[in-house]
Amino acid sequence: MLLWTGLGNPEPGMARQRHNIGFMAIDAIAKRHGFSPWRRRFKGEVAEGQIAGRKILALKPLTYMNASGESVQAAAGFFKIPPAAITAFHDELDLDPARVRVKKGGGAAGHNGLRSMDRMLGTPDYWRVRLGIGHPGAKERVTGHVLGDFAKIDLAWLEPLLDAVADAAPLLADAQPEQFMTRIALLVGDKH
């Protein structure tokens, strides 16, 4: 079983924030691939499904970003899922909008959701799907940018990106991160 977690904040008023792109991605995947309805479990919401013949538990922690690891660790512990079978979908300031990078391990780079996962799992050795939201240009504007809602103009790249992530998900499930990134790049193109 694979554990795919989208990182975000649970308040309805936060649903369209850039920081919640991880929730948006996991929702798009679950919808596209006919996962079970979401239900509350492990301090979060879970849905189950299959992609490319792999059983996947989708998780949206309801602990707020800074404590995401509590929910991820609870689900991983219950199902005995090792860190190498966990993938976190999260916002990434250091990537241009609509760009996606997949990597295993690494630092938290100031991302509190990843920092919480590292602490609770005892290792940074899980997969990350870094979803580019762009940088506002100045350090003092980062918090407002991350916690700000996507603008109407962003929908021109955001919706195609989420569709592409859902479309390419079988490649990720099949442990082909390079092909996953390539497929997304081809689907999204240079529309932004």
Percentage of the chain with pLDDT > 90? Answer: 93
Residue 52 belongs to domain spanning = 2-188
Whether residue 6 has pLDDT greater than 70:
yes
Report the pLDDT value the prediction gives residue 192, as an integer from 0 to 100: 43
Q: Band of the pLDDT at 163, cuts 50, 70, 90?
A: very high
Average pLDDT, the chain: 95
Of 157, 161, 179, give the one whose Cα is nearest residue 170. Answer: 179
Q: Band of the pLDDT at 70, cuts 50, 70, 90?
A: very high
Separation of alpha carbons 126 and 118, rounded Å? 9
Report the pLDDT value the prediction gives residue 190, as an integer from 0 to 100: 58
Q: What CATH number is given to the structural domain containing 68?
A: 3.40.50.1470
Report which of residues 176 and 108 the model is more confident about.
176
Which residue carries 């997969």 as its tokens? 127
Structural domain count, the chain: 1
| Residue 71: Cβ-neighbour burial (10 angstroms; 0-12, 13-18, 19+) | buried
Report the pLDDT value the prediction gives residue 187, as an integer from 0 to 100: 94
Query: What are the pLDDT digits (tens) for 104-137?
Result: 999 888 899 999 999 999 999 999 999 999 999 8
Report which of residues 110 and 96 the model is more confident about.
96
pTM score, two decimals?
Answer: 0.96
Percentage of the chain with pLDDT > 70? Answer: 98
Residues 18-22: what's their mean pLDDT? Answer: 96
Helix, coil or strand: residue 27: helix
Report the pLDDT value the prediction gives residue 110, as an integer from 0 to 100: 85
Separation of alpha carbons 63 and 44, rounded Å? 7
- Decide: 57 and 3 in contact? Cβ < 8 Å: yes
Separation of alpha carbons 98 and 15, rounded Å? 18
Catalytically annotated residues: 19
- Decide: 88 and 113 in contact? Cβ < 8 Å: yes
